[in-house]
């Protein structure tokens, strides 16, 4: 009985893995109009956005994970 249960679970695992391979991106390219709108951009303000991170880094102890590529402001 235990062996039967074990086999069931193992086979189920294999099926589930093949199921993973079938997973398709669920937002199709033609459904991305809203996402492509500039108001959905994380870095909409360019250097003005980088600058405000610098303002806070100079006055607060927290630093990092601001979301933009960078490598530190080099301005401590």
Partner 1 sequence: MALGVVVAVIKFTSQAFFKTIFKLLITVNFLTHSFNSLAGTLPVDTVDSLYHRYEGGGMTIDGPFILVRKSVGNQFSLSGHYYVDSVSAASVDVLATASAYTEERTEVSAGVDYLNEKTLMSFKYTNSEENDFTANSAFFSVSQDFFGDLTNFTLGYARGWDDVGQLGKSETEDADRHIYQVGMTQVLTKNALIGVNLETITDEGFLQNPYRQVRFIDPGNTARGYSYQLESYPETRTSTAMAFRGLYYLPYRASIKGEYRYFNDSWGIESHTYDLLYVHPLDDQWIVEGKFRYYSQTQADFYQDLFPFKDSQTHLARDKELSNFSGTTFGAGISYELGQGAITHIDRLKFTLLLDYIQFEYDNFRDVVAGEGLAVGTEPLYEFDAWVTRASITLEY
Return the number of the residue (1 or 76) whose C-beta is nearest partner 1.
Answer: 76
What whole-number distance in Å separates Cα of residue 20 and Cα of residue 24?
A: 9
What whole-number distance in Å separates Cα of residue 74 and Cα of residue 76?
A: 6
For the CB of residue 30, give the shortest distance to partner 1 in the complex, in Å. 10
Footprint of partner 1 (CB under 8 A):
9, 12-13, 15-17, 19-20, 23-27, 29, 31-35, 37-40, 42-48, 50-52, 55-56, 59-76
For the CB of residue 4, give the shortest distance to partner 1 in the complex, in Å. 15
Q: In whole angstroms, how far apart are CA 50 and each of 10, 29, 44, 76?
A: 51, 30, 11, 15
């Amino acid at each position: 009985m235990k062996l039967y249960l074990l086999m069931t679970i193992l086979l189920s695992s294999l099926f589930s893995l093949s199921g993973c391979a079938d997973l398709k991106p669920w937002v199709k390219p033609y459904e991305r109009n809203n996402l492509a709108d500039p108001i959905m951009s994380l870095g909409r303000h360019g250097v003005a956005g980088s600058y405000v991170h610098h303002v806070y880094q100079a006055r607060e102890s927290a630093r990092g994970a601001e979301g933009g590529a960078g490598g530190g402001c080099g301005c401590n």
